[in-house]
A and B are shown apart, each in its own frame.
Chain A
Amino acid sequence: MQKGRHRSLGRTTAVVTQHQIVTHRAAIGFQKRSRLSVFKFKGHPLSTAPPSPAHQNPFRPPAAAAAFTPTPSRRTQNPPTLTVCSNMEIQDFSDDIDVKVKKYQRGEGADLEALKDKKLKGQLANREELFKKSANAAAKAEKWLMQTESGLLEPEGIEKTWRFSQQSIVQEVDVASRKNQFDIVLPDLGPYTIDYISSGRYMLTAGRKGHLAIMDLHTLKPVKDFQVRETVRDAVFLHNELFFAAAQKKYTYIYNRAGTELHCLKEHGAVRKLQFLKNHFLLSSINKSGHLHYQDITTGQIVGNYRTALGRSDVLQLNPYNSVVTSGHSGGTVSMWKPTTSTPLVKMLCHRGPVTAIAFHPNGHLMATAGMDKKIKIWDLRTYKTLQTLPGHAKTLSFSQKGLLAASTGSFTQILQTSDSENSQNYNRYMIHTMAKGYQINKILFRPYEDVLGIGHSSGFSSIIVPGSGEPNFDSWVANPFETVKERREKEVRVLLDKLPPESVMLDPTKVGTLRDVKRREKRTKAAAVAAAKNVAVKKKTKGRSKPSKVARKKQEGVEKVKRAFVEDEEGVKKKQKRIVEVSELPVALQPFVTKKGK
């Protein structure tokens, strides 16, 4: 009856055991299958690596993962993947390799035929050769080292995947995965919000009425559990499980794992939502007056403080691909922000009613939004066009590492999946889950590297099994669920060294290191303008009109005209400065009044 597959990941990367028991219930066939992930975008070393693991990030070959995985830790990766022997597919590995090589080559090289410079041509050709070699090696390594495949629910005949209940799934999975399905009932301290650490090992839960808890999901024991006796609106982990930030009634606080309050971030105001940009070490928040704050948590400096001018917002989501923070507003607009500009990078009108939830695909090209207009829309962020519009409300949305989309409203959760064909972005229903009536779901979040969906609701939180949602192979360079203390320490240092400056957040991170667009005209200096005016060629006119004296006078006029514009500018600057000086001269007690009036 029971079939389970255990795989070990590590240096050996060999299949240790493989019990295969033919199931009598033909209704559920869990099939082993290799799924390809084709990434069409190209990467850049400086690009903001997505917070999800390397396997969403095509830049990283698995070689390192194998080399640095310290112990061949055995774990069950894909709980419900059961195999039916007869259905075993023979895979075309050569095809597979080609695709992978392409992925690791990150696009085509430039056409060298057109190049005239022989030396450069030779150099570039050499480079290309090396790139190809590297890509080949990486693809091979991936093939041999990353053998764990993601799970899948496969129906047979007229069966539908969404008919499988959690009870039926849990019967099929191995014991280790079975413990991923649990409910914790905490009815008193209000709707819970959850956050996972990037390796998926620790969970942070925050009850609205002041309950904060960190849980180790491997041992299923709370690391720390305490109450702040104040409204807690949101809580996020910082770069590791040792620190987390909680948005409380008046201020945001940073606690450590032991529950000690380390910092009180007063500048953020009464924060509604928090997000942490882990490559930049920025904590971003949106408060109830619609101000967006960015604070560097390593230096404590406020990097950006911007007024969204779109009213109160409860929705703030980070795009893991480019670290652009996106907020949803009551006017149905969604605006994307970077820490260094006061205006949004992109402003989109997504819904006719207020936006209730936003989620991003780990590859950064898909955005899902939900609105009060009873629609869930999936957007392609490369074209800013809708790919799909689904009916229904959603209080929260979440994309999994493998691209499953979960949406929930009330006590109902549904999980959507793209149809089988590779290029299709059409999301269809994959699973549904209904909680007890009266449970109001507050937040759902896929757990990284596990086929688990965490649900925070009004009376506690629960986790359900969603086969095929998590990334089966982890890269210990990026996130290691089995991290030791020493590794964690080392990683902290490494990550701090690799910290990116806030300005590197941009819509297209591949733009870093490329040639700047020269479209923008530099502001002309006075001297340049005058010189240009002097050099204006004078048209030959009728007799007498282009006398040298006249021409000279005309030129002089032109120069004067140009100068005049600059004089006005200078005067403006002077006036501004003067005003500022005057304000600063005032005694401290009077200053606030002046600024208010001045505005």
Chain B
Amino acid sequence: MAETKRKKTLEPANSSKRRKGGKEKNWKKGPHLPNALQKELNSLNPTYGSDEEIKSDDDIDVYEYEEKIPEEESKKNRRYDPVDNFEYELPKDFEDEDVASDDDEEEKGDSDDEKHARMLQDITGLPGDAFEGKKKKNDVVVFEAYPESEYNPSRDVLDGDGRITVDDLLNPLHGKPGFSKIRKDVQRIDKKSMSIQPPLPKPQQQKVDRRSAYVYSKKKLQEYESLVKKNREAPTIYFDEDRDIGYSTVGAIASEFKPRTEFEKKMASLINTKQLSEAHNGDGARLLELNKVSVQDVKERQDRLAKMRNLLFRHELKAKRIKHIKSKTYRRLMKKDKLKGASATEIEMNPEAAKQLAEKEEFKRAEERLTLKHKNTSKWAKRLKKRGFDAQDDGTRAAISQQLQQHALLTRKRNSMHDDESSSDDSTEDDDDMSADEDDDASKLKLLENGKNRTLEVLEEDDDMPKSGVLSLPFMVRGQKKKKEAAEEEARLALQDYESEMKQLDGDDDSNHNVSLSGRKVFGAQKKQAPQSKKKAKVNTDNYFDNSDSEDDDADTMEDVNGRMSYTQKDVNIDSNILREESEIGHDPLFKSFDDISKAQGPKIEYEVSLPATNSLKKKGNKKDSNQLKGKTESNKSQVAELASDKEEHDSDTDGEGEGGMVDGMITSGGDYELPSQDDLIRRAFAGDDVEEDFEMTKQEILNEENPEPEKPVLLPGWGQWTHIQKKRGLPSWMLAEHETAKKKRDQDLKKRPDAHLNHVIISQRVDKRAEKLQTKVLPYPFKDKEHFERSNRMPLGPEFNPATTIGSLNRPQVVKKPGVSIKPIKLRKH
């Protein structure tokens, strides 16, 4: 291969030599013949200039493959013009440095590209080939070693020149039927020569569609513009112009009737049969004919009816027989069956029934709990109990046991519910038991005892204070302690109550004792009474006592005189207890500490006096209180003395008040004032003395009230005053500045007042909250300007304020519409 290549490169040089000799014409043509034949041919047609060749041939005897001369050089078919070489020939041994460029220069057509390439090469320093790319491909050498075929395309095809045209394809069809038609079509297509674009991608296509649709619909909508504008601007839109309420009469509705359901259709087909309609149209005689029924039909019907009647009768008989059965067992069994059947079937099927059953069950349970019907409370059971169970036969015993079982069954749910609760439940059970008992008092007693015990427990219970954690913090401990104390207090109170109640209950028979006991709480009076007379137990209702001591005393004395009987006292005492309880409930005992009350000195003195009666136990840290707590064993002399002194104080107070009231009364409730008296005259004479100044002062007061003057800046007392520097410096500047601004603000506010320039007028700037409700807080929606809103509201709209001709249009709503008429979309009316 390398050899051939070398030859190929050398060959042109030889050929060019030959061309120089002007022997191109003598170049062999025709098929390639062997030398011997060639010789003979040459001898037949002698050609000039073939000597050399012959010579050479002569020189080289051996067969040598001769390469074909390249076509462009062979000048076959004169495809290449002969070019004379006029150029200067370089000596053979001359070697150009840049061969590639030399070669290129020969071809003029490429020169521009070449130049460009060269320029690029110069600039970048890369070989020119790097930039060419495509061009190089053209230099591909194609060997035509194989015949041209689809596997071995010719050079033309590779270059892209030798396209297969439609004509090429058509030619073989020449003369076939339909050829002319195809040819015409092809010609037509050729003439038009329009290339068809490939379809756009889908989203793009859609976009285009949309755009065009928009343009179209826009144009369409613009037709409505005037109509819409008109509606928009109209103060009122009417929607009831072309209303169609529908049929006005029943007849109209009936006439429009169309059968829809199967049944209706059947009926309609029957009614609208030709015969029938004809009969209607004619006289009624034909209708009668149509009414005829066949004998068989009638018979069938009669039979059916008879059967039914028979069945009914049998059923009736059966029911009667069953009704007459008196056996209870039968009934019970029947009932059971019925229930079972019902429950078994229905409950499964019907949730409603299930619910009902559940309710019934629940009701039964509740009933049982209420009545305790099955707990041997019936007469029968009681009798049995009385006679003793041992005496009964087995059946009765079983019955009783069954009853009890039923009770257990019915009440079981409750127990199960309450079982898990704490001990308090026991007590409730106890209660229940108790309530079942006949002895009420005993039950109460027990209850009270229970309560007492519980409270005692609470009292005795020593709260173990946590030694660590948040709760051990001193203030928490304190708080806990306080709480505990309060709780204890309450507990003690409760205890007291229990005791008193118990004693009351105990001493139902001896009332005297009771009086002394109950008197413990209302010690103030009691103590006083005690020495006076043991027998004089008195009415000690708290209310009464609260009113005033002196009154109480009076009452005492009165009672002394009257010598009331003791049996009334008992009742009264019970009353007092109840009252006390109520009062205690009324004012939460925990919150009313004595300290508070004692703090409020002045007006509360009366209260203080009355306090011992109601809340004696709460006065801690008070001697009186402690005394009370110790009870009646101690001598109460000192208390009495204290009380007396208190009372005196109180009396004097009330006296003073009374006097004051009296004086007031004197002043205010003077006689009816008819004529100007001396007093009045004097007042009048002096009233106008300095009226203006007075008014100025009042105005100032009111101004100060409504726009208060800023407080004068002061330092904290003692702050920075222990050296003279601070004093010298005075107040800090920021304080002064603050004061100054506040002052300025006030001045401005004062200037803004409507009465700023009117010395003789004070216009109150207070806002009346109730009147403010009559004004709007914010502007209603479409308005942006206060003035527009207020101006638009200036006209009243009522019928009293406007002529009848305009009242309608003034008050017409924005939309007028008949109820029940649907609003249809806008219709474009063509004019």
Chain A contact residues, CB within 8 Å of chain B: 42-46, 59-61, 63-64, 67, 105-110, 112, 114-117, 119-120, 122-124, 126-127, 130-131, 133-134, 137-138, 141, 231, 249, 270, 288-289, 330-333, 338, 340-341, 343-354, 372-373, 384-385, 477, 503-504, 506, 511-516, 520, 578-579, 582, 585-587, 589-590, 593-594, 596-598
Within residues 94 to 123 of chain B, which ones have a CB less than 8 A from any CB in chain A? none
Given A231-B674, A503-B771 in contact, is the A134-B802 Cβ separation under 8 Å? Answer: yes
Complex CA gap A141/B804 in Å reads: 11
Q: B687 and A354: CB pair below 8 A?
A: yes
Confirm or deny: B58 has a beta carbon within 8 angstroms of a beta carbon on chain A: no
Complex CA gap A585/B764 in Å reads: 38
With a CB–CB cut-off of 8 A, which chain A residues contact B786?
Answer: 514-515
Within residues 530 to 573 of chain B, which ones have a CB less than 8 A from any CB in chain A? 543, 546-548
Given A117-B784, A330-B684, A347-B761 in contact, is the A60-B791 Cβ separation under 8 Å? Answer: no
Complex CA gap A1/B439 in Å reads: 112
Complex CA gap A106/B607 in Å reads: 65
Q: B758 and A384: CB pair below 8 A?
A: yes
With a CB–CB cut-off of 8 A, which chain A residues contact B196?
Answer: none
With a CB–CB cut-off of 8 A, which chain B residues contact A117?
Answer: 782, 784
Q: A107 and B794: CB pair below 8 A?
A: yes
With a CB–CB cut-off of 8 A, which chain B residues contact A511?
Answer: 774-775
Q: A349-B695, A515-B776 are in contact. List 5 more A-B contacts (CB 8 A).
A: A330-B684, A340-B771, A384-B761, A503-B773, A514-B786
With a CB–CB cut-off of 8 A, which chain A residues contact B777?
Answer: 516
Choose one: B232, B603, B775, B790; the contact of A593 (CB below 8 Å).
B603
With a CB–CB cut-off of 8 A, which chain A residues contact B603?
Answer: 593-594, 597-598
List 22 A-B pairs, Cβ < 8 Å: A43-B794, A120-B788, A123-B782, A124-B788, A130-B806, A134-B803, A134-B807, A332-B688, A333-B691, A346-B762, A351-B691, A352-B692, A353-B687, A384-B761, A513-B774, A513-B793, A516-B772, A516-B776, A582-B607, A590-B606, A593-B654, A596-B660
Given A119-B232, A349-B691 in contact, is the A585-B587 Cβ separation under 8 Å? Answer: yes
Q: A110 and B688: CB pair below 8 A?
A: no
Confirm or deny: B694 has a beta carbon within 8 angstroms of a beta carbon on chain A: yes
With a CB–CB cut-off of 8 A, which chain B residues contact A596?
Answer: 657, 660-661
Given A64-B799, A133-B806 in contact, is the A110-B787 Cβ separation under 8 Å? Answer: yes
- Distance of B178 from chain A, by nearest CB (Å): 73
Q: B803 and A141: CB pair below 8 A?
A: yes
Q: B805 and A110: CB pair below 8 A?
A: no
Q: B691 and A289: CB pair below 8 A?
A: no
With a CB–CB cut-off of 8 A, which chain A residues contact B235?
Answer: 123, 126
- Distance of B742 from chain A, by nearest CB (Å): 15
Within residues 200 to 235 of chain B, which ones have a CB less than 8 A from any CB in chain A? 232-233, 235
Q: What 0/1 pattern do residues 793 to 831 of B give for CB contact below 8 A with A?
A: 111111111111111011000000000000000000000
Complex CA gap A384/B753 in Å reads: 14
Choose one: B661, B687, B763, B784; the contact of A331 (CB below 8 Å).
B687
Confirm or deny: B602 has a beta carbon within 8 angstroms of a beta carbon on chain A: yes
Confirm or deny: B766 has a beta carbon within 8 angstroms of a beta carbon on chain A: yes
Complex CA gap A137/B687 in Å reads: 56
With a CB–CB cut-off of 8 A, which chain B residues contact A348?
Answer: 760-762
Confirm or deny: B81 has a beta carbon within 8 angstroms of a beta carbon on chain A: no
Say whether chain A's binding surface is mostly helix, strand, loop, or mixed: loop
Q: A122 and B233: CB pair below 8 A?
A: yes
Within residues 743 to 796 of chain B, which ones have a CB less than 8 A from any CB in chain A? 755, 758, 760-764, 766-768, 770-779, 782-796
Q: How large is the interface on B (under 10, 10 to 19, 20 to 34, 35 or more residues)?
A: 35 or more
With a CB–CB cut-off of 8 A, which chain B residues contact A345?
Answer: 763-764
Complex CA gap A469/B658 in Å reads: 57
Given A123-B235, A585-B587 in contact, is the A45-B801 Cβ separation under 8 Å? Answer: yes
CB-based nearest B residue for A338? B768
CB-based nearest B residue for A347? B762
Given A107-B794, A130-B809, A331-B694 in contact, is the A503-B770 Cβ separation under 8 Å? Answer: yes
Complex CA gap A55/B694 in Å reads: 41
Complex CA gap A130/B805 in Å reads: 11
With a CB–CB cut-off of 8 A, which chain A residues contact B683?
Answer: 330
With a CB–CB cut-off of 8 A, which chain A residues contact B455?
Answer: none
- Distance of A469 from chain B, by nearest CB (Å): 26
- Distance of B540 from chain A, by nearest CB (Å): 15
With a CB–CB cut-off of 8 A, which chain B residues contact A503?
Answer: 768, 770-771, 773-774
Q: A346 and B763: CB pair below 8 A?
A: yes
Given A110-B791, A134-B802 in contact, is the A384-B755 Cβ separation under 8 Å? Answer: yes
Confirm or deny: B604 has a beta carbon within 8 angstroms of a beta carbon on chain A: yes
With a CB–CB cut-off of 8 A, which chain B residues contact A597?
Answer: 602-603, 657
Q: A42 and B794: CB pair below 8 A?
A: yes
- Distance of A320 from chain B, by nearest CB (Å): 18
CB-based nearest A residue for B806? A134
Q: B607 and A586: CB pair below 8 A?
A: yes
Choose one: A108, A351, A352; the contact of B791 (CB below 8 Å).
A108
Complex CA gap A133/B610 in Å reads: 78
Confirm or deny: B86 has a beta carbon within 8 angstroms of a beta carbon on chain A: no
Complex CA gap A347/B754 in Å reads: 13
Q: B587 and A587: CB pair below 8 A?
A: no
Confirm or deny: B698 has a beta carbon within 8 angstroms of a beta carbon on chain A: yes
Q: B797 and A119: CB pair below 8 A?
A: no
CB-based nearest A residue for B801? A59
Most chain A CB within 10 A, of B233, B543, B687, B772, is at B687
With a CB–CB cut-off of 8 A, which chain A residues contact B792?
Answer: 109-110, 124, 127
With a CB–CB cut-off of 8 A, which chain B residues contact A351?
Answer: 688, 691
Q: A138 and B773: CB pair below 8 A?
A: no
Given A110-B791, A477-B800, A587-B610 in contact, is the A349-B692 Cβ separation under 8 Å? Answer: yes
Complex CA gap A341/B770 in Å reads: 9
Q: A137 and B694: CB pair below 8 A?
A: no
Given A110-B792, A130-B809 in contact, is the A589-B695 Cβ separation under 8 Å? Answer: no
CB-based nearest A residue for B683? A330
- Distance of B228 from chain A, by nearest CB (Å): 13
Complex CA gap A115/B783 in Å reads: 9
Confirm or deny: B600 has a beta carbon within 8 angstroms of a beta carbon on chain A: yes
With a CB–CB cut-off of 8 A, which chain A residues contact B687?
Answer: 330-332, 353-354
Given A106-B795, A123-B235, A514-B775 in contact, is the A138-B803 Cβ separation under 8 Å? Answer: yes
Most chain A CB within 10 A, of B546, B600, B684, B790, is at B790
With a CB–CB cut-off of 8 A, which chain A residues contact B804?
Answer: 63, 67
Complex CA gap A545/B694 in Å reads: 55
Q: A46 and B774: CB pair below 8 A?
A: yes
Complex CA gap A590/B551 in Å reads: 13
Q: What 0/1 pattern do residues 476 to 516 of B give for CB contact below 8 A with A?
A: 00000000000000000000000000000000000000000
Q: B604 and A137: CB pair below 8 A?
A: no
Q: B800 and A64: CB pair below 8 A?
A: yes
CB-based nearest A residue for B762? A347
Choose one: A127, A130, A373, A582; the contact of B604 (CB below 8 Å).
A582
- Distance of A137 from chain B, by nearest CB (Å): 4
Q: A343 and B793: CB pair below 8 A?
A: no
Q: A107 and B771: CB pair below 8 A?
A: no
Complex CA gap A46/B795 in Å reads: 11
- Distance of B174 from chain A, by nearest CB (Å): 79
Ranked 3 nearest A-B pairs via Cβ: A45-B796, A597-B603, A110-B791
With a CB–CB cut-off of 8 A, which chain A residues contact B805?
Answer: 137
Confirm or deny: B672 has a beta carbon within 8 angstroms of a beta carbon on chain A: yes
With a CB–CB cut-off of 8 A, which chain B residues contact A586?
Answer: 606-607
With a CB–CB cut-off of 8 A, which chain B residues contact A63?
Answer: 803-804
With a CB–CB cut-off of 8 A, which chain B residues contact A122?
Answer: 232-233
Complex CA gap A315/B249 in Å reads: 74
With a CB–CB cut-off of 8 A, which chain B residues contact A333?
Answer: 691, 695
With a CB–CB cut-off of 8 A, which chain A residues contact B785?
Answer: 110, 114-115
Given A110-B792, A138-B803 in contact, is the A516-B764 Cβ separation under 8 Å? Answer: no
Given A353-B684, A596-B660 in contact, is the A516-B801 Cβ separation under 8 Å? Answer: no
Complex CA gap A124/B807 in Å reads: 17
Given A514-B790, A587-B610, A589-B548 in contact, is the A130-B691 Cβ separation under 8 Å? Answer: no
